[in-house]
Structure 1
């Protein structure tokens, strides 16, 4: 099916819903969905963002700025004490328990604004990785219109570019907890170390990256087209010293480069 046809189906689906609350991270998918929803439904749209310990402050600020450009009502819920035990203990179902809490909260916010349909940015490509959070979305009757319309990540980027959305080429980003191996307890201290390390990579010009942790080791993944930047003794020393200042004892570079979902290897889908 042509991508333009999929866009028309998406608009028709949103019109059918009438009013929606978009679970909004400011990433490629949710930003595209929010823009289309705003253009289609006007003021019958709100964006809801949760800011908890596993979210980067930079990502939250970007989400606020994007939503402001669309002139959309944007509700940001700050959760200082995200004490979902199953999330903290970090087993392979972590994402399920997190999504269950997060989207239950989004539904509560939506109902306060008399909106009874919550939509999210899950797309067709998201079905290919280990994503236990999708089960939570189904249980809560969250609607994923991009997936329903068969839109892929590349198609969403293409349409976003045509709409002049800043996020059309934004790198993939996931919650900071995805940098921590299953079975390792999640703490605010560890999450902040990851956040500071990744902020440093932004500052020195990297585009696609993750800082994965393995006890006291930081394993840096960057896009394969960017690994060559580390072929500099000065940058290696600078990065090593910076991450050790942040709190890691050892700093490593993954030779394979950035790989989405690399912490899910060995997990049964």
Structure 2
């Protein structure tokens, strides 16, 4: 089944003459970049958007992975922080982020002679509230993983099958996703939460989030790791480190990490707004 989906993914790129991949360095877009390169070679170009919502360390990871794959890689700047519709952090914040991204990628693609822009949206993404998906579709972007029906777990399995060493890399979405809707996003806040997560990653914790509400940092870890974290971490030292970053209070979420947790406050009609029939290619 996985090999069939991989062949179907290759088939999509075989129908493209040239393609730009919206490449964040995450596991999804990296798999898309790998398959695109395997099929198109130098006619595939991975493009990463550099902005305050991306940690410099994650940008470096993206560069290293692109180099290992062999795909040509270009870094561009996006300016979503200049859009008050984005910084106000409404429930559809992601729409404005992806609008900025694809309003930058589409002219680049046209100027370089690339007829397609593709992203790393997978089949599971269609089940969550992701307004950015609609922004990408409005601008003509395609989502090969979703078109084939490849889930997040299958992305990892296919990546492992292809020998990609980062197949189990934790998901690392935009840092703006760490703030509750309605709280203004600033560069200083993004840097603060990014540094806090990097601190924990350096301690060996990988699948995590640091949610930021006002001056409070809330650490989310996999539920099965919470006990070990409490017993093995120098908590006073951690609190001091977080306070040096600018937080006043440091808490631990006892439920544990869960993707899309901030969306649970949304009305069900909003959360269920992503319908596959609207988002898949006909």
The TM-score normalised by the length of structure 2 is 0.92
Shift of residue 71, structure 1, vs aligned partner? 2.1
Partner in structure 1 of residue 18 of structure 2: 19
- The equivalent of 1:201 in structure 2 is 200
Farther off after superposition, 226-235 or 199-208: 226-235
Whether 1:61 aligns to 2:50 is: no
Question: 2:130 is matched with which residue?
Answer: 131
1:81 Cα shift?
7.5
Answer whether contact 2:50 2:59 (CA < 8 A) is retained. yes
The aligned residue for residue 166 of structure 2 is 167
**What's the secondary structure of 1:231's corresponding residue?**
helix
2:239 paired residue number: 240
Q: How far off its partner does 1:82 sit?
A: 3.1
CA shift for structure 1 position 234:
5.5
The 2-side partners of 1:19 and 1:140 are apart by 17
Deviation at 1:229, TM superposition (A): 2.7
1:28-63 CA-to-partner distances (Å, cap 9, x unmatched) read 111111111101111110001001111111111100
CA distance in 1: counterparts of 2:44 and 2:165, whole angstroms: 20
Compared with structure 1, are the counterparts of its residues 3 and 36 closer, same or farther at alpha carbon in structure 2 (3 Å cutoff)? same
Contact map agreement 1:207 1:223 (CA 8 A) in 2: no
Cα distance change, pair 102–3 in 1 and its aligned pair in 2 (3 A): same
1:225 paired residue number? 224
Displacement of 1:112 in angstroms is: 2.5
Could you give the per-residue CA deviations for residues 102-149 of structure 1, whole angstroms, max 9, x where no partner exists? 111112222232102000010101011111111101111100011101
8 Å contact 1:100–1:133 — kept in the other structure?
yes
**8 Å contact from structure 1 (residues 210, 222) kept in 2:** yes
**Could you list the runs of 5+ residues in structure 1 that have no partner in the other structure?**
none
| Offset, 1:172 | 1.0
Measured in 2, the distance between the counterparts of 1:82 and 1:106 equals 17
After superposition, what is the alpha-carbon deviation per residue over 1:216-268, rounded to whole angstroms, capped at 9, x for unaligned? 11000011232123223752112111101111110000001111111111213
Displacement after TM superposition at 1:80 (Å) = 6.7
Cα distance in structure 2, aligned partners of 1:254 and 1:216: 16
TM-aligned CA distance change 1:81 to 1:124, over 3 Å: closer
Q: Contact 1:19/1:44 (CA < 8 Å) preserved in 2?
A: yes
Deviations 1:193-221 (A, max 9, x none): 00110110011110101100111110000
1:189 aligns to what SS in structure 2?
helix
1:48 aligns with 2:44: no
How many residue pairs end up in the alignment?
268
What are the residue-to-residue correspondences of 1:85-96 with 2, within 5 Å? 85-96=84-95
Instruction: Check the 8 A contact 2:80/2:96 in 1, yes or no.
Output: no
Within 1, Cα distance between the matches of 2:224 and 2:163?
A: 25
The normalised TM-score by structure 1 is 0.96
Tell me by how many angstroms 1:79 deviates.
Answer: 4.0
Aligned residue for 1:238, secondary structure, equals helix
Q: Is the 8 A contact 2:79 2:100 kept in 1?
A: no
Q: Give the conservation status (yes or no) of the 8 Å contact 2:34–2:71.
A: no
